[in-house]
Amino acid sequence: MDKKTLRDIDLTGKTVLVRVDFNVPLAAGRVVDDSRLRATTPTIEYLHARNAKIILVSHLGRPKGAVDDALRLAPVAVRLSDILSLPVATAPDCIGAPAATAVQALAPGDILLLENVRFHAGEEKNDPAFARELASLADVFVNDAFGAAHRAHASTAGVTAHLPSAAGLLMEKEIATLSSLLAGADRPFVAMIGGAKISTKIGVLTHLLNTIDVLAAGGGIANTLLKAQGRAVGKSLVEDDKLDVAREFLRQADRAGVTVLVPVDAVVGPVGDSQGAGSVVAIDRVPPNLMIGDMGPQTVAAIGTVLETAGTVLWNGPLGLFEEERFAGSTRALAHALAACGAVTIVGGGETVAAIEAAGVADRITHVSTGGGATLEFLEGKTLPGVAALDDA
């Protein structure tokens, strides 16, 4: 990459401010999914081995610039300490006297997790004064929060105006892996893209037409494509105002020689009956009073056959309403098919990562990206502010 990394800076004995993405789910005061914590441990351990004083800064949830006790980072520090087998101290704030006092107490190799940076409105506004105060705690800034790199916030971009900066090991790995997809992935290159709205992903879908060979569409995106083809989809989630966008995308895919796979059968059920069972119908037999909640078994089998010969597979977005058991079949089955295929496999997006973890196959995926929106924007060819702001190599 064309930005400095940890290996380009002498960090021995330095006080290092590390932006991490610890925006993890909590329940009953405990971390439910610690995958983002584990992903950043190589950077923390690298700094610890060099006797750096390590200051971690992260957001959690959307407190909108005000203190929210339910979004404090203390439970994250507890879980991180367990993972690292090292003590992780906490500070009652991320700036001001409480933060400065906590930093002053650090010895070489110590780790401190500041309080939720989004408790201050200046974070999301990228307020220069807030960024300056945050930067005043350290000698060097390291950004290891790829999942937040698409945000031009004070702790991702603003602090770089005041400190030497570099990418962390996770950030470096994410950029290298995703860049390889755009530069020359092994063929055939298959993208499985799901999610509720085609409007949120049309940019990346269109950009990927320059790179992929096959697109397997699921979720509400597939419903909108199906309706754009003139098919009746009952009460399914559809963006009716994006049907022209969907038709144009299908025309572009045809011109690019990209095969677009949409469901040939579907699992349908009543809207709102999450406890009921779904039933399988052909895609041209969707009852007008039911909704499509998932791909059917014929569609899953067809995509599975494509995966068997794929060279590279990118998966972003669940392929059905997998949070409801009646509509979880395709996401679960294709998670196992993805793990079993011989391709280079990349999975991104919080719900998709949750799906492969629920299926027990995360350790068989080549690269599990910590980015959701950041992954999509990078693959769309957009510049990520949190990366662009770092010092050039």
**Residues noted as catalytic:** 36, 197, 350, 373
Q: How far apart are CA 159 and CA 156, in angstroms?
A: 7
Q: Residue 236 contacts by C-beta under 8 Å, 6 or more apart in sequence?
A: 220, 223, 286, 291, 292
Apex 335 CA angle, 332 and 336, nearest 5: 95
- Residues 6 or more apart whose CB falls under 8 angstroms from that of 334 comprise 192, 300, 303, 304, 307, 315, 319
Task: Judge whether 387 and 171 are in contact, CB under 8 Å.
Answer: yes
Q: How far apart are the first and last CA of the chain?
A: 8
State the DSSP H helix or E strand holding residue 387, giving kind and residue range, or none if neither: helix 385-388
Stated as kind and residue range, the H or E segment containing 366 is: none
Per DSSP, 66 falls in state S
Whole-angstrom Cα distance, residue 345 to residue 349? 14
